[in-house]
């Protein structure tokens, strides 16, 4: 449930429930008060009636008569009886004797006869006493209502306590929910962020699917991504350090050779020797230039630069890629064979694809003896593989070319074992250790892999004793 939904529910609970509670308590108190008031009124009427029979005696109101009214012990604290003559003179009071003989006006005397006056503190009734049709006196009975008032106050206090208890209970429950749903997860998140900032790996568990849960899950996801990126950065850093060490080592040998032959040239040498030394120096310079070119290409490919892709027609493009290598092979005494069975269109970076074929063919030439063969080919879905592709590899290659084109470069070179095959595309790895002094930088095949993968393709190596090695690159065709 979303936090805004929880907050809406809390708002309704905080507003509605106290109002309903207050209204219910008010109705209960009012009803109890009415019941108590009705009960007290009935009781008072009975108490009035008990004394009215005595007070309704005309003899009590004769001038000079001795008045003695017996009041029950239970009523002495709560009842006041007053007798007035017909002309308003107070002739008897059950409590205040000092007021006897005082006179009130006729208006005050006769006002409210037969009517029971009720208040929070007392109930009062006045009635006249007759002899025939003549009023001889008036009695007034007053009863305190302290019990009813006390009961009302007690009920009201209980209602206040109940209302307070309900309110505190609601606040407590809501505070607990808010604490569990919002405060605790935020505290955990804050702690985790501080610990993560100090380099400690800490996970937060949150099963809720509200905004807090999304925030915690977002933090966990961000943390995992940062850790993964840190690992990648560390890996790249290690690779750069290894690259610097490898390049420094590989540059040291040709630089040493250049220095030695340069010193020899400065000496007294024949023209023939000078020509020989110059050729060696130029050869070492070409080697260093190739190494620097490979390093530059590898650095560019591993950076986040933007590639420019163009759409090309398959047959025409691969005919251009495979052109020119027959002369290189002829100079080495190697037979070069090519085949193009390709249709459709492809999105490529032309210069990088030229580098792919150049690296693969150069690698094949460097690892093929004179008199043997090198084959290159491009095959799309509707073209069959040629016989020079071993049947053992055809099923996987045919599966690859169903959605595009496969570029195959095969040489009759030495078998590459499984351990070497796993490492052959790593930077600076040289699988033929005997060629280290005269071979390339060890970046050629890793550059090929980077280019193919950045084209959305796949590269595979197939090797078999007595057959040779096949490098297979897959590129997806442009969907119409």
Q: What is the pLDDT of residues 296-346, one digit of tens each?
A: 777 777 777 778 899 999 899 999 999 889 888 998 999 999 999 998 899
Q: What mean pLDDT comes out for the span 75-81?
A: 82
Whether pLDDT at 94 is above 70: yes
For the chain, the structural domain boundaries read 231-296, 309-476
Q: What is the mean pLDDT of the chain?
A: 81
Whether pLDDT at 81 is above 60: yes
What is the reported pLDDT for 1?
Answer: 53
Task: State the architecture of 309-476 in CATH terms.
Answer: 2-Layer Sandwich (3.30)
Whether pLDDT at 281 is above 70: yes
Share of the chain above pLDDT 70, in %: 90
**More reliable by pLDDT, 227 or 470:** 470
**Residue burial 100-112, b: 16+ Cβ < 10 Å; e: rest:** eeeeeeeeebeee
Q: How far is CA 391 from CA 17, 386, 387, 467, in A?
A: 81, 10, 8, 11
What is the reported pLDDT for 4?
Answer: 65
What is the reported pLDDT for 145?
Answer: 67
Query: Dihedral of the CA atoms 39, 40, 42, 46 (nearest 10)?
Result: 140
Q: What mean pLDDT comes out for the span 67-71?
A: 79
pLDDT band at 377, cuts 50/70/90? very high
CA-nearest of 97, 152, 91 to 119 is 152
Helices 444-454, 350-366: axis angle to 10 degrees equals 150
Residue with token string 């008072």? 44
Q: Which two tokens stand for residue 425?
A: 């595309």
Q: How far is CA 266 from CA 30, 130, 259, 260, 274, in A?
A: 123, 162, 11, 10, 9
Q: What mean pLDDT comes out for the span 104-112?
A: 86
Q: What angle do CA 428, 429, 435 make, to 5 degrees?
A: 100
What is the reported pLDDT for 136?
Answer: 87
Whether pLDDT at 193 is above 90: no
> Out of 95-99, 190-194, 213-217, which region has the weakest mean confidence (pLDDT)?
95-99
Q: How far is CA 399 from CA 84, 298, 384, 389, in A?
A: 126, 30, 12, 14
What is the reported pLDDT for 476?
Answer: 92
User: Tens digits of per-residue pLDDT, 123-176?
Assistant: 888 889 888 888 888 989 888 765 555 666 677 777 777 777 877 887 778 778
Residue 459 host element (H or E): strand 458-464
CA-nearest of 197, 228, 171, 127 to 13 is 171
* Model pTM score: 0.53
Residue 234 host element (H or E): helix 211-265
Q: How far is CA 295 from CA 247, 282, 302, 412, 432, in A?
A: 9, 20, 11, 28, 20
Q: How far is CA 303 from CA 291, 292, 450, 478, in A?
A: 18, 16, 11, 26
**Pairing relation of β-strands 373-380 and 335-341?**
parallel
Largest CA distance in the chain: 175
CA–CA separation, 160 vs 157, rounded Å?
5
Q: What mean pLDDT comes out for the span 222-246?
A: 79
Pick among 2.60.40.1260, 1.10.287.130, 3.40.50.1000, 3.40.50.720: CATH of 231-296: 1.10.287.130
User: For the chain, how big is the Rg over CA atoms in Å?
Assistant: 56
What is the reported pLDDT for 436?
Answer: 43
**More reliable by pLDDT, 385 or 275:** 385
Q: What mean pLDDT comes out for the span 381-386?
A: 90
CA–CA separation, 217 vs 319, rounded Å?
53
């Amino acid at each position: 449930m979303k936090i805004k939904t929880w907050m809406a529910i809390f708002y309704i609970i905080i507003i509605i429930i106290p109002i309903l509670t207050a209204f219910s308590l008010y109705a209960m108190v009012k009803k109890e008060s009415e019941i108590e008031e009705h009960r007290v009124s009935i009781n008072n009427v009975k108490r009035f009636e008990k004394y009215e029979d005595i007070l309704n005696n005309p003899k009590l109101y004769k001038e000079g008569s001795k008045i003695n009214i017996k009041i029950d012990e239970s009523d002495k604290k709560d009842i006041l009886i007053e007798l007035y003559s017909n002309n308003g003179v107070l002739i008897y009071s059950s409590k205040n004797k000092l007021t006897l003989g005082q006179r009130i006006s006729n208006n005050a005397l006769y006002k409210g006869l037969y009517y029971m006056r009720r208040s929070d503190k007392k109930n009062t009734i006045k009635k006249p006493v007759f002899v025939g049709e003549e009023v001889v006196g008036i009695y007034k009975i007053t009863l305190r209502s302290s019990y009813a008032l006390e009961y009302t106050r007690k009920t009201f206090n209980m209602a206040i306590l109940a209302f307070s208890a309900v309110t505190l209970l609601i606040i407590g429950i809501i505070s607990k929910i808010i604490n569990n749903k919002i405060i605790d997860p935020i505290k955990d998140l804050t702690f985790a962020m501080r610990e993560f900032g100090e380099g400690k790996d800490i996970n937060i568990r949150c099963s809720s699917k509200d905004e807090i849960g999304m925030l915690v899950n977002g933090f966990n996801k961000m943390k995992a991504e940062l850790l993964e990126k840190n690992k990648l950065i560390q890996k790249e850093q290690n690779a750069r350090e290894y690259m610097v060490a490898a390049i420094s080592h590989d540059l040291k040998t040709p630089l040493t050779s250049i220095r030695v032959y340069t010193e020899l040239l400065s000496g007294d040498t024949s023209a023939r020797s000078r020509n020989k030394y110059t050729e060696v120096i130029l050869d070492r310079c070409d080697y260093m230039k190739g190494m620097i070119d490979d390093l530059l290409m590898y650095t560019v490919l591993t950076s986040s630069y933007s590639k420019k892709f163009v759409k090309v027609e398959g047959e025409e493009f691969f005919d251009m890629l495979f052109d020119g290598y027959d002369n290189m092979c002829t100079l080495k005494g190697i037979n070069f064979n090519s085949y193009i069975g390709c249709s459709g269109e492809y999105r490529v970076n032309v210069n990088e694809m030229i580098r792919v074929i150049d690296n693969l063919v150069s690698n094949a030439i460097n690892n093929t003896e004179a008199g043997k063969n090198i084959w290159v080919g491009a095959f799309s879905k509707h073209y069959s593989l040629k016989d020079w592709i071993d049947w053992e590899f055809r099923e996987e290659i045919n599966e690859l070319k169903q959605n595009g084109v496969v570029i195959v470069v095969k040489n009759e070179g030495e078998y590459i074992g499984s351990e070497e095959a796993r490492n052959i595309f790593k930077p600076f790895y040289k699988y033929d250790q005997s060629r280290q002094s005269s071979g390339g930088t060890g970046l050629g095949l890793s550059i090929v892999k980077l280019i193919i993968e950045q084209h959305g393709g796949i590269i595979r190596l197939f090797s078999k004793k007595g057959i040779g090695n096949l490098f297979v690159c897959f590129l997806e065709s442009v969907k119409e």
